[in-house]
Chain A
């Protein structure tokens, strides 16, 4: 008993950290989301539900829906690109597999903001790609690539694809290879075997990858800010504006709470599914 109590003390620093730096600010934001703005533009605590009404009005609702749409597109593109890459490394990487994985991970040590600026340099009207297109005579004028939804989604895919590849790699690498052989042995063509055997056998990795890409993509503001324009505004940008440019902290707080609630629902669904999957394996 005493030994048990002794070990409990090791939780204290972490608990303190979480309470002071995470739980307390979150509570302040929650309280602020019911506040209002005074004559000087400062957030004041109070009680009104109006901030939450504003989140779902016709000005802001499209922004929320667009964020979810971009995040879904990002997730699907990451899956389509990431699965073959993860599959190749796990199955055919051989002694190069850790080198290949490192080659994928190392760029992500560079700050996300800096990497996104690199895309601006590439895709801008006077950027590398457009200069090449014009110089080669493929087009007379620069092709608009920046300030489009696809530039924003492209930035998100680039930013988060590693979170898709790593869990996929893990589940493909762990998969019992004889299961795939069994699929072929039981008259499954290569495509049928992939659909009916490989995908179900790696669904834990697919699920984890999708959640890990979808959740940060919904709240992202860097990609839309640097690669997008007014038409590609996402909820992350909206929140950022409330706290800085527009100076409406209570509304920004309400937006934050709604987004966190939305993401938590997905997170809980995922965790329940993952726990069930684990129980089945055991």
Chain B
């Protein structure tokens, strides 16, 4: 059992009538890369700011390695934050920014020098040590903010959408670097983001938040493959949501079709409403009468018509109108297509199928 870095115990934050964070309970392990994921206004940043000490919980406790800290002011907490705007000190050079925390802690000069040099090495900025903050690019500013926090060797590093201001390519690169740095230093990271892809690719565990509550907490695969409710399924990637009624023997009636749903819990009785979801990339599309190419044996199949098609580069996103009513979105990888003119036509009749085990039951 891993050691616990943070325990958030029944924490609620109210601003007057408004409940920003509503009875959140989380345990974060030492050395973990933990993400708080959700749309804006879901309470993820408020939760992070309570961990930093900028906000005091209205109710509940926050334990940092077992010590209650919810009323400790930020400058007395051994946690550091990477701000969304980076919040660099413009009047200082890169070194001055990174050394700021160590100086306030009255660290000996020689030690400050070596630790600042090491931190700059870690983020690959040794050559810009004497530059003013204003002379740096966005990516470099982001690294300074990271080095400035990490140099203090905090118990927990808090990151508030640190990559939000960077362009897509730089963001991808920094995601990989951040993850590498986290492995190297072994410090617990608590990462706030609204970007589900970012959270899935970097985190050890994710807590999905909505309206101040944690709706699901688990490993990325678990959250993606087994979303607990419609909100999670919809927020983490696109999902096809199908409303149906339980039929018994692991089958659900949707429109005119009876779908096999092996995951259906046994406490659903015949006639109970059931909501199921299928990920677009699990949906195979093929020409009718060509069943052995992409539609594999054991798949559940229905017929439909291609309603619209969006070219995504890595593949096509097809919206399909089912013969039995309802719509499905399918994501088709470009690897299936050999020639560029080998394209689907809007209005074409197709057969659609998926493996029954890819049907997710939402509570």
Chains A and B belong together in one complex = yes
* Chain A residues in the interface with B (C-beta under 8 A): 176, 178-179, 181-190, 192-193, 196-197, 200-201, 203, 280-282
Interface flag for B35 (CB, 8 Å): no
Chain A CB within 8 A of B39 CB? no
A200 CA / B88 CA spacing, docked (Å)? 12
- Would B100 and A179 count as touching, CB distance under 8 A? no
B17-56 interface with A by 8 A CB criterion? 52-54
How far apart sit A196 and B101, CA to CA, in the bound complex (Å)?
Answer: 11
Q: Which residues of A contact B105 (CB under 8 A)?
A: 187
Q: Kindly state whether residue B132 has any CB partner on chain A within 8 Å.
A: yes
B91 touches A201 (CB 8 A): yes
Question: In chain B, what residue has the closest Cβ to A282?
Answer: B134
**In the complex, are the beta carbons of A184 and B75 less than 8 A apart?**
yes
List residues of chain B with CB within 8 A of the CB of A181.
52, 54, 74, 81, 83, 87
The 8 A CB mask of B91-133 against A (1 = contact, 0 = none) is 1100000001100110000000000000000000000000010
Closest chain-B Cβ to A207's Cβ sits at a distance in Å of 13
Query: What are the residues of chain B within 8 A of A200 when measuring CB–CB?
Result: 89-92
Nearest Cβ in chain B — how far from A116, in angstroms? Answer: 38
B134 close to A281 (CB less than 8 A): yes
A189 to B53 alpha-carbon distance, docked (Å): 13
Is B194 at the interface (CB under 8 A from chain A)? no
A179 to B88 CA separation, bound complex (whole angstroms): 7
Q: Is the CB of B134 within 8 A of A182?
A: no
Residues of B within 8 A of A186 (CB): 75, 80, 100-101, 104, 148-149, 152
Give bound CA distance, A200 to B148, whole Å: 18
Contact B132 A280 (CB under 8 A): yes
The listed residue with most B CB atoms (<10 A of its CB), out of A185, A192, A197, A281, is A185
* A185 with B74: CB separation less than 8 A: yes
Please indicate the chain B residues that have their CB under 8 angstroms from the CB of A197 in the complex.
89
Contacting pair B75 A280 (CB below 8 A): no
Closest residue on chain A to residue B132 by CB atoms: A280
> How far apart are B158's CB and chain A's nearest CB, in angstroms?
9
Residues of A within 8 A of B80 (CB): 185-186
Select which of A182, A190, A281, A282 is within 8 A of B87 by beta carbon: A182
Contact partners of A201 in chain B: CB under 8 A: 89-91
Q: Encode contact with A along B259-274: 1 for CB under 8 Å, 0 otherwise.
A: 0000000000000000
Interface pair A184/B74, CB less than 8 Å apart: yes
Q: Is B73 an interface residue (CB 8 A)?
A: yes
**Interface contact B134-A176, CB-CB below 8 Å:** no
28 contacts between A and B (CB under 8 A): A178-B83, A178-B84, A178-B85, A178-B87, A179-B87, A182-B88, A182-B148, A184-B54, A184-B73, A184-B75, A185-B52, A185-B54, A185-B79, A186-B148, A186-B152, A187-B75, A187-B101, A187-B105, A188-B104, A189-B104, A192-B104, A196-B104, A200-B89, A200-B90, A200-B92, A201-B90, A280-B90, A280-B134
Q: B130-142 toward A: CB 8 Å interface, digit per residue (1/0)? A: 0010100000000
Set of chain B residues within 8 Å of A193, measured between Cβ atoms: 75
Contacts of B148 in A (CB 8 A): 182, 186
CA distance A203 to B92 in the complex (A): 13
Closest Cβ–Cβ distance, residue A244 to chain B (whole Å) = 48
Give Cα A132–Cα B79 distance, bound, in whole angstroms: 57
Please provide the 4 A-B residue pairs with the shortest distance between their CB atoms, ordered closest to farther.
A186-B101, A200-B91, A182-B87, A178-B87
Given contacts A185-B74, A189-B75, contact A179 B89 (CB under 8 A): yes
Q: Is the Cβ of A182 less than 8 Å from the Cβ of B89? A: yes
In angstroms, Cα B76 to Cα A235, docked, is: 53
Q: How far is the CA of A174 from the CA of B295 in the complex (A)?
A: 61
What separation, in Å, do the CA atoms of A244 and B56 have in the docked complex? 67
Q: How far is the CA of A193 from the CA of B104 in the complex (A)?
A: 10
Flag if A187 contacts B91 (CB, 8 Å): no
Q: How far is the CA of A185 from the CA of B81 in the complex (A)?
A: 7
| A186-B80, A189-B75, A281-B134 given; A176·B85 CB < 8 A | yes
Taking a contact as CB atoms closer than 8 A, the residue among B75, B84, B89, B91 that contacts A185 in the complex is B75
Chain B residue at minimal CB-CB distance from A189: B75
Query: How far, in angstroms, from A200 to B100 measured CA to CA in the complex?
Result: 14
Q: A281–B74 contact, CB under 8 A? A: no
Q: Which residues of B contact A188 (CB under 8 A)?
A: 75, 100, 104
A176 to B89, CA, bound (A): 10
Within the complex, what minimum Cβ distance (angstroms) separates B258 from chain A? Answer: 56
Residues of A within 8 A of B149 (CB): 185-186
Least CB distance from B337 to A in Å reads: 48
Question: Which residue of chain A has its CB nearest to the CB of B83?
Answer: A178
Instruction: Give CA–CA (A280, B54) in the complex, Å.
Output: 30
Q: How far is the CA of A189 from the CA of B74 in the complex (A)?
A: 9
**Are A187 and B104 in touch, CB under 8 angstroms?**
yes
Distance in angstroms between the alpha carbons of A176 and B105 in the assembled complex:
24
Across the interface, which residues of B come within 8 angstroms of A280, CB to CB? Answer: 90, 132, 134
Q: Is the CB of B134 within 8 A of A196?
A: no
A104 to chain B, nearest CB (A): 28
Can you name 11 extra interface pairs (CB under 8 A) apart from A184-B74, A280-B134, A281-B90?
A176-B87, A178-B84, A178-B87, A183-B89, A185-B149, A186-B75, A189-B75, A196-B100, A200-B89, A203-B91, A282-B134
- When C-beta atoms are compared, the residue in chain B nearest to A178 turns out to be B87
User: A281 to nearest B CB, angstroms?
Assistant: 6
Q: How far is the CB of A187 from chain B (nearest CB, A)?
A: 4
Contact of B83 among A182, A187, A190, A281 (CB under 8 A): A182
Q: Mark B52-77, 1 if CB is under 8 A from A, else 0.
A: 11100000000000000000011110
With a cutoff of 8 Å between Cβ atoms, the chain B residues found around residue A185 in the complex are: 52-54, 74-75, 79-81, 149
How near does chain A come to B38, taking the closest CB pair, in angstroms? Answer: 21
Measured CB to CB, the nearest residue on chain A to B84 is: A178
Give the distance in Å from the alpha carbon of A181 to the alpha carbon of B85 in the complex.
12
Closest to A182 in B: B87
Q: Which residues of B contact A190 (CB under 8 A)?
A: 75
